[in-house]
Chains A and B, each alone.
Chain A
Amino acid sequence: MTTVFLFILLFVLLALGLPIAMALGLSSVLTILLFSNDSLASVALKLFENLSSHYTLLAIPFFILSSAFLSSGGVARRLIRFAMSLVGHVRGGMAMASVLACMLFAAVSGSSPATVAAIGSIVIAGMVRHGYPEKFAAGVIANAGTLGILIPPSIVMLVYAAATEESASRMFMAGFVPGIMIGLTLMVAIYIMARVRGLPRAEFPGFGPFLAEMAASTLSALGGLMLIIIVLGSIYGGIASPTEAAAVSAVYAWFIAVYGYRDIGPLKNTPWRAEGEGTASAVLRNLVMLPVGLLRSVSHPEVGRTVLDAAKVSIMLLFVIGNAMLFAHVLTTERIPHEIAELITGWGLPAWGFLIVVNILLLIAGNFMEPSAIILIMAPILFPIAVQLGIDPIHFGIIMVVNMEIGMITPPVGLNLFVTAGITGHSIGWAIKAATPWLLILLCGLVVITYVPEISLFLPNYLDQLRGYK
């Protein structure tokens, strides 16, 4: 009865168009008010605590901030150039390079729509210019963009870690191989399609220019690529925790955008070396500009807008998360996870059968709600059953994340579809048609990742082994 009320109320409020955060919060409070003798006061306390006692979740605003600086800092453009220099001359190379660029951007950003937008807004038009069908280009990017939450860092993994008290850094490591696997599969599929459909290739410029461009583009992209090393290196190299690494990456991204690349802020259009400038004078000038530029960036409108944008996105996401945790809390006080778990356990499903149920449930849920909210509501229900069935908690987390990825490109509701439709100026229906053939690869990936736990667990276990324990 309570369960039915809670979920129906939630869906009605959502359908009416109440923001997800308030819909979750209001249905929780009303359920408490009507069916429980808990006080409103402790519900208010709980909401406040949800927002103020999850250190792991702090990484979310930090990663969003860092992502905002990177997107505005033109890092995406440099990553694309780097990827193009590597595989651009293969048949279908531009599409493959776009996937590679998505993977690289995914390795510095924690969100999928951000990845699609950052890379897609540049490369889709570029591919069309070079003779690729637009639908092909859009489909590739919509799919490759989902890697944003599978290749670490990942906002969704942070939420899973917070909900289940598993290690965020182990989750990050576990996402690495599956992410690269899906990315490479996409690239192979593109190559095959390119052969079959005779898609364009760039002329191989000869070894000299090839190496020269590779070196130049690597150098140019180094500021962005360094961030991958900073984030993962500081976590695994013993300097910082995931949350701390996120803060470090935000500070670094600001530095690289304002001082390194000078794409925004007070030093915009100020070259590292002016024409005809002597080395000594250039070094001196840049040294002086270091403190001056960084200090002046504090009050610079472009920098301010970037921070405000990041703040806006962070607030919305954290507000949803805080209320979703409240919803999960009500589920728990009403013993609903307990009952559902008993029901599902009662079916006597084997682990593989349970995982199919999980896949279906999550794919459906993906159509109504934000991934973080889904994880927070579903994890308390599904996680204990998974553990009971002997499924590794980290592996289970990766399965949930891949499901969330797929949810982003399945109709009717999928964030990546909306972004893709927006970039290309076509309808959602068009975007769905463009993305669907590639979806097959993701679904195959999901099956393989679900039933071969080693793909996810190999790297974290191997790293542990390196450190001398199993």
Chain B
Amino acid sequence: MLRAIAQGLGRLEEIIICLFLVGMTLLVFFEVIVRLMYAELIELFGEGSIDIFWIEELTLMGAAWFVLFGAAYGIKVGAHIGVDAFVRLLPLAARRVVGLVVVAAGLAYCGLFLAGGWVYESKMYKIGIEMEDLPIPRWVTFSMLMLGMVMIGWRLAEIGWRILTGKAGGFDLADEAREVLEDRVEMNQEAAR
């Protein structure tokens, strides 16, 4: 039961991330089309019926939300880029200690941004200003930073727990190169079939 819920949430997380990317792409695409066909569109819908002014701000906000929401997912699937050449040279016990140090550093990162974000968030909530073009309060859009940091912290804590209980040998980074490859090789094999 719990596992089913966790799987469902994980799937939802992936869907949301995809929707962000697709949404941003389509918004910008839509603006290009509207501008390109502006003459025809006002013919069709009448002058003053077209407003594309809000698109830029919404897309940019989408980009920030996309990254902040997705960063934790990156940790879950081990997609973050880093340098692990040195750590790999260490014996297992030392690697686990280093892994815990890295988790602690990551948690510090989240904690500091949460602390700073909270002060900003409260200030914006108090004075209640809105976005430039969108009628959305500033603190609402910013809240994704807080949520993102909490999510990242959660994923880091999970890894820390796995290291502590001996289920993981350290903090595993993405091998970016290997990942690009696996996808490609897999696809080319599929194509060859």
Contact = CB atoms under 8 A, between A and B. Distances in A.
Interface in A26-71: 26, 29-30, 33, 39-45, 47-48, 51-55, 57-58, 61-62, 65, 71
A385 B36 CA distance: 41
A15 interface: yes
10 contacts: A16-B102, A17-B82, A17-B83, A40-B119, A47-B145, A54-B60, A55-B56, A121-B184, A311-B66, A418-B175
B29 A25 contact: no
Given A26-B112, A44-B145, A71-B187, 9 more contacts: A17-B84, A18-B102, A18-B106, A29-B113, A44-B117, A61-B21, A309-B183, A315-B66, A413-B85
A121 B66 contact: no
Contacts of A319: 67, 71, 74, 80
Nearest to A66: B25
Interface in A6-30: 13-23, 25-26, 29-30
A266 interface: no
B105 A307 contact: no
Contact of B25 (A23, A65, A72): A65
A308 B32 contact: no
Interface string A389-424: 000000000000000000000001101001101110
A13 B80 CA distance: 14
A239 B21 CA distance: 22
B112 A33 contact: yes
A304 B19 CA distance: 10
A18 B99 CA distance: 9
Contact of A18 (B68, B105, B116, B176): B105
Contacts of A239: 32, 36
B108 interface: yes
B68 A62 contact: no
Contacts of B63: 51-52, 57-58, 61, 318
Nearest to A13: B105
A33 B170 CA distance: 29
A244 interface: yes
Given A44-B145, A247-B32, A308-B14, A15 B86 contact: yes
A21 B81 CA distance: 8
Nearest to B80: A19
* Nearest 5 Cβ contacts at the A-B interface: A40-B116, A418-B177, A19-B80, A52-B64, A44-B116
Binding site of B, secondary structure by majority: helix, strand, loop or mixed? helix
B180 interface: yes
Contacts of B70: 311-312, 315
Contacts of B67: 51, 314-315, 318-319, 322
B185 interface: yes
B80 A21 contact: yes
B116 A43 contact: yes
B109 to A, nearest CB: 4
B49 interface: no
Nearest to B61: A52
Contact of B83 (A14, A240, A423): A14
Contacts of B112: 26, 29-30, 33, 40, 43
B90 to A, nearest CB: 10
Given A26-B108, A312-B79, A17 B177 contact: no
A283 to B, nearest CB: 26
Nearest to A50: B64
A16 B84 CA distance: 7
A23 B117 CA distance: 19
A153 to B, nearest CB: 15
B31 interface: yes
B24 interface: yes
Interface string B169-189: 011011111101101110110
A314 B123 contact: no
Contacts of B170: 17
B18 A311 contact: yes
Interface in A239-260: 239-240, 243-244, 246-248, 250-251
A100 B118 CA distance: 53
Nearest to A43: B116
A415 to B, nearest CB: 6
Contacts of B6: none
